[in-house]
C-alpha cells in the first residue's frame, strides 16, 4: 500500500481565516478537501474584523456566526468627515445593521476547531509552491496525493514573494491599530476621518458596556504612539468622553497589489489575490466574495470545467481593481490638498449629501450587497 494515491478535489494552502473558510465552504458543498499550513500555532491576534452584512450571511450559512465566543458589535451608523467640510456625511440603514465588528481570534478558533474535527488539517508543513501543480502526484508527509485543483490562501505574508507576479499600487502608508476605552457609549457608530496625514477609522469594539472602540490610522508620516493618542483624543474626546488606551499600538505595512497571472493554474483567494488600502474597510470581505464566486462557479460548471479559472479571475479582477483604484485615488486627493483637489472634495461631499441614490449605493457597497459584476 506504499504507493497508494489519496485523491482529493482541492488542496488549500494556508489555514488562516480565509483559507479555513474556503475549506469549510467547499466541504459544505460536498467536495473532498485537504488543508495545509506552514505554522503549527497561529500568533495571538487581538485585532478585530469589520464584517459586512454579506460576510455575516456567509458565516451564518456555515454555522459559525452563532458560535463566536464574544458577541459581535453591530454597526448601525457610519459617519465620514474631514478637515475641509464643516459637517460629516451620515449613513444609516433602518432595515438591518450595515456590519459587525468581531474578534479575529474568535473566528479563527472556531474555523480551526471545525477543520481539526474533520481531520483534514496538516500544520507545520511548508510546501514550495513553485514546484507543485494540480493534476500531478504530490508527496506530503511520505504519502502520495492527487488534487484536481490547488487554492492559495497565503495572506499578506506572501505579498513580497517574487514567485507570483503582481501589479503594485504605490503606497508609503503604514497602519497603526489599537483599542481604547471611553466614558460615553459608542452608539454602534463607525467613523472615518480623512485627516491631512491619512485616514483614521474608529469602530465600535465588542464589549458588554459598549464603551470600547478600535482604531486604524494609516499614514506615510513617521509618528509615535503618543502622537496617535493625541490625534484620537483631539477628534473623539467630544463624542466619546474621557479616553484611555489599552495595550500597545500595533504597526503594519500597507502593500496594495493585484496578482496579474494564474500562477501554476492555482486559484488565488484573499490577500494573495489582492491587497487593498484599509481606508475602504473591505479587504477581508472581498476575500469572502472570492469564496462565494468560486463556489457559485463550481456549482454551475463543476470542478473539471476547463474555463473555471478564466471565469473566476475575469470576474474577481474587475471588483479587485475597482477597489484598488478607488482607494489609491482617494488617498492621493487627500494627501495633495491643492485648490483643485479641495474643490473636488467639497463637490463630492455636496453631491453625496444631496443624492439619495448615491447614499443608498454607498450603503449597499458598505454592506457588501453591491455587485460590480
The answer to the question of residue 99 being in a domain is: no
Same-domain check for residues 183 and 166: no
Grid coordinates belonging to 199: 485616514
What is d(CA 345, CA 341) in angstroms, rounded to the nearest whole number? 6
What is d(CA 128, CA 118) in angstroms, rounded to the nearest whole number? 25
The answer to the question of residue 205 being in a domain is: yes
What is d(CA 122, CA 20) in angstroms, rounded to the nearest whole number? 12
- The structural domain count of the chain equals 2
Dihedral of CA atoms 152, 156, 161, 165 in degrees, nearest 10, equals 70
Cα angle value 92/98/99 (rounded, 5°): 145
Same-domain check for residues 155 and 279: yes
Same-domain check for residues 260 and 305: yes
State the CATH number of the domain containing residue 129: 3.50.50.60
Angle between helices 17-28 and 283-301 (to 10 degrees): 20
Cell 497602519, residue located? 175
The boundaries of the domain holding residue 207 are: 174-253
What is d(CA 217, CA 236) in angstroms, rounded to the nearest whole number? 14
Same-domain check for residues 186 and 320: no
Same-domain check for residues 165 and 184: no
pLDDT in tens, the chain (373 residues): 557 888 999 999 999 999 999 999 999 999 999 999 988 766 567 789 999 999 999 999 999 999 998 889 999 999 999 989 989 999 998 888 999 999 999 999 999 999 989 988 888 888 888 788 888 888 887 788 899 999 999 876 666 666 676 777 777 789 999 999 999 999 999 999 999 899 999 999 998 889 999 999 999 998 999 999 999 999 999 999 999 998 789 998 888 888 876 766 899 999 999 888 888 788 899 999 999 999 999 998 778 888 888 899 988 988 888 888 888 888 888 888 889 999 999 999 999 999 999 999 988 988 998 876 6
Same-domain check for residues 323 and 281: yes
Same-domain check for residues 273 and 263: yes
The answer to the question of residue 56 being in a domain is: no
Domain end position, chosen among 253, 278, 301? 253
pTM for the whole structure:
0.92
169: Cβ contacts below 8 Å, ≥ 6 apart: 256, 257, 258, 324, 325, 328
Pairing relationship of beta strands 267-268 and 257-259 according to DSSP bridges: unpaired
Same-domain check for residues 246 and 322: no
Quick count: other Cβ atoms within 10 Å of Cβ 229?
17
Same-domain check for residues 262 and 355: yes
> What is the secondary structure of 45-79 as a DSSP string?
---EEEEEHHHHHHHHHTT-GGG-SSPPEEE-EEE
Domain end position, chosen among 204, 233, 253? 253
State the CATH number of the domain containing residue 191: 3.30.9.10
Amino acid at each position: 500500500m506504499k504507493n497508494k494515491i489519496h485523491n482529493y478535489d482541492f488542496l488549500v494552502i494556508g489555514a488562516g481565516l480565509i483559507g479555513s473558510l474556503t475549506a469549510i465552504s467547499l466541504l459544505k458543498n460536498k467536495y473532498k478537501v485537504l488543508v495545509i499550513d506552514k505554522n503549527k500555532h497561529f500568533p495571538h491576534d487581538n485585532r478585530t474584523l469589520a464584517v459586512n452584512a454579506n460576510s455575516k450571511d456567509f458565516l451564518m450559512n456555515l454555522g459559525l456566526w452563532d458560535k463566536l465566543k464574544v458577541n459581535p458589535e453591530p454597526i448601525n451608523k457610519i459617519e465620514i468627515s474631514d478637515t475641509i467640510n464643516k459637517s460629516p456625511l451620515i449613513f444609516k440603514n433602518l432595515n438591518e445593521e450595515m456590519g459587525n465588528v468581531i474578534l479575529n481570534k474568535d473566528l479563527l478558533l472556531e474555523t480551526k476547531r471545525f477543520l481539526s474535527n474533520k481531520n483534514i488539517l496538516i500544520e507545520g508543513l511548508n510546501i514550495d509552491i513553485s514546484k507543485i501543480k494540480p493534476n500531478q502526484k504530490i508527496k506530503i508527509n511520505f504519502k502520495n496525493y492527487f488534487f484536481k485543483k490547488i487554492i492559495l490562501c497565503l495572506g499578506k505574508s506572501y505579498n513580497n514573494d517574487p514567485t507570483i507576479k503582481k501589479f503594485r499600487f504605490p503606497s508609503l502608508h503604514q497602519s497603526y491599530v489599537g483599542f481604547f476605552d471611553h466614558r460615553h457609549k459608542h452608539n454602534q457608530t463607525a467613523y472615518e476621518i480623512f485627516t491631512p496625514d491619512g485616514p483614521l477609522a474608529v469602530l465600535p469594539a465588542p464589549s458588554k458596556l459598549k464603551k470600547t472602540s478600535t482604531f486604524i490610522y494609516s499614514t506615510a508620516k513617521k509618528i509615535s504612539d503618543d502622537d496617535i493618542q493625541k490625534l484620537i483624543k483631539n477628534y473623539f474626546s467630544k463624542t466619546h468622553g474621557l479616553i484611555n488606551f489599552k495595550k500597545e499600538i500595533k504597526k503594519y505595512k500597507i502593500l496594495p497589489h493585484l496578482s496579474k497571472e494564474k500562477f501554476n493554474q492555482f486559484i488565488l483567494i484573499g490577500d494573495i489575490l489582492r491587497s487593498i488600502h484599509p481606508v475602504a474597510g473591505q479587504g477581508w470581505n472581498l476575500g469572502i466574495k472570492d469564496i462565494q464566486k468560486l463556489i457559485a462557479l463550481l456549482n454551475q460548471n463543476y470542478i473539471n470545467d476547463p474555463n473555471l479559472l478564466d471565469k473566476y479571475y475575469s470576474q474577481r479582477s474587475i471588483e479587485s481593481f475597482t477597489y484598488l483604484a478607488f482607494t489609491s485615488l482617494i488617498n492621493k486627493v487627500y494627501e495633495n490638498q491643492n485648490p483643485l483637489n479641495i474643490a473636488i472634495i467639497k463637490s463630492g461631499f455636496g453631491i453625496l449629501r444631496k443624492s439619495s441614490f448615491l447614499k443608498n449605493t454607498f450603503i449597499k457597497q458598505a454592506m457588501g450587497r453591491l455587485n460590480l459584476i
